[in-house]
Amino acid sequence: MQNFDYQTIGIALLGGLIPAFIWLWFWLKEDSANPEPKGLLLLTFIGGILSVFAVLPLQRLTEGLLPDGTTRMVVWAGIEEVVKYLFVAMIALRSRHCDEPVDFAIYMITGALGFAALENALFLLDPVSLQDSVVSLLTGNLRFIGSMLLHAVASGVIGMAMGFAYYKNFARREFALFTGIVLSIALHSAFNYFIINSSQNVFSVFTLLWIVTIVFIFLFELLRRLSGRNYRPRFEH
């Protein structure tokens, strides 16, 4: 395993964290009317970072068990989305501060951006260590546009599904959670599949991702308005 000096690690971490903070600022601004506690948001972001250390061993384990291709791609996407959800659920989703439908999406997006920040930093280590500024810039920009957005939207889908079922009974909320996880894995897998198999037409893949993001923002606004009902169901989270 290659050893990296502190300067390389620092630059790579900044390359991962700064885009993540920009995206986080964007999503939190969408819910500025009733902001979440900064401390809990920070813990959720850190939880997302820590979830990378749970995902990597699981992916290495399945690497030797699954053939390279679509099956492994779907399983790896599933590992990432489920582990991210579990970390965010333990930290924030059962907190008393998660008391509105939109909060579920906010916390899932926050955790996902923490995950993406460290993941991107790891991708940047090699080009930064080789002092290849062009490669580092292109890698950072593409992952800023693609990976950061993908993680935020894919995990946000889980939070959004939970949010729309917030006022429903327990069975419907559990079904919504299951549906959200399935949709997030499908979205994550589809993006990975197209980005790998459409190397000559990357622009179209990112365009499709932006279209999905626009739909997500529209649904996020509906969820935010639903949160204005100021009503808590009698069922516990």
Domain assignment present for 196: yes
- Predicted local confidence at residue 140, as pLDDT: 45
- Predicted local confidence at residue 128, as pLDDT: 64
How many domains does the chain divide into? Answer: 1
- Predicted local confidence at residue 231, as pLDDT: 44
Domain assignment present for 234: no
Which residues of the chain fall short of a pLDDT of 50? 134-141, 230-237
Domain assignment present for 235: no
CB 159 within 8 A of CB 220: no
Domain assignment present for 128: yes
Domain assignment present for 190: yes
- Predicted local confidence at residue 236, as pLDDT: 44
At residue 132, the 3 state secondary structure works out as coil
CB 157 within 8 A of CB 216: yes
pTM metric for this prediction: 0.88
Phi, psi of 30 (to 5 degrees): -70, -20
Domain assignment present for 236: no
- Predicted local confidence at residue 129, as pLDDT: 61
CB 217 within 8 A of CB 153: no
What is the residue whose two structure tokens read 């365009």? 207
User: Directed axis angle between helix 6-29 and helix 147-164, to 10°?
Assistant: 40
CA distance 103 to 160: 9
Domain assignment present for 1: no
Domain assignment present for 237: no
Residue 63 domain boundaries: 6-227
